[in-house]
Amino acid sequence: MAFILLIAFIAVPIIEISVFIKVGGLIGLWPTIGIVILTAVIGTAMLRQQGLSVLFRIQQNLEANRMPVQELFDGVCLVIAGVLLLTPGFVTDSVGFLLFVPPFRRWLASEIGRRVVARADVHYSHRSYSTHGGHPGAGRPGQRPGDGPVIDGEYQDVTDDDEDPPKRRIDHGDHDRS
């Protein structure tokens, strides 16, 4: 990862300088500088507009008790887009403007998610308890609403009574939940 960042910090300025020279040779110095300034102004306006929209959607999701995952990803993309648009250069501006396009952000999120899942080592275990059998694997048919996976854990009851020592219990979930 560090090697890739090193290559990017070397390659991006070289590419940007090359494109500046080429564009400057075609349209001249002042129009080139004007385009760079114009992209920064347009990028700032787009960042403000889309950023406020993303913040509003995050707030709506939080009020509805939903996790705003896509909105948070959009926010990160917009911050990166803003940085790229404020960085002088045509290549960074192109990538920055691309990050302002919502379908591209959704595609990028799905690609990143797909790659993370492909590399992840995730194990999920779900023990289901029914109201009929009370044993693991009894299935969903008799399960009450709100019953979910059983989480084994330890707890300590701390009370203000000095006479009784704190109670400690380990729950292995082997009891009937009905």
In a domain, 172, yes or no: no
Number of domains making up the chain: 1
Pick from 54-58, 69-73, 109-113, 169-173: least confident: 169-173
Would you say residue 171 lies in a domain? Answer: no
Contact status, residue 177 vs residue 131, Cβ threshold 8 Å: yes
pLDDT, residue 144, reads 57
End-to-end CA distance of the chain: 52
Query: Bigger pLDDT: 120 or 175?
Result: 120
Q: How do beta strands 167-171 and 153-157 pair? A: antiparallel
Helices of type H across 64-157: 69-86, 90-98, 102-119
Q: Would residue 156 count as lying in a domain? A: no
* Residue 76, domain member (yes or no): yes
Residue 129 has pLDDT above 60, yes or no: no
Mean pLDDT confidence for 6-26: 92
In a domain, 73, yes or no: yes
Per-residue pLDDT of 92-126, as tens digits, reads 999 999 999 999 999 999 998 888 888 876 555 55
In a domain, 24, yes or no: yes
Query: Is residue 70 domain-resident?
Result: yes
CA atoms within 13 A on the CB side of 103: 0
In this structure, is residue 113 part of a structural domain?
A: yes
Compute CA 162 distance to the chain's CA centroid, rounded to the nearest angstrom: 48
Question: Which structural domain range is residue 96 located in?
Answer: 19-117
Average pLDDT for the chain: 79
What sign does the CA torsion over 66, 70, 73, 78 have?
negative
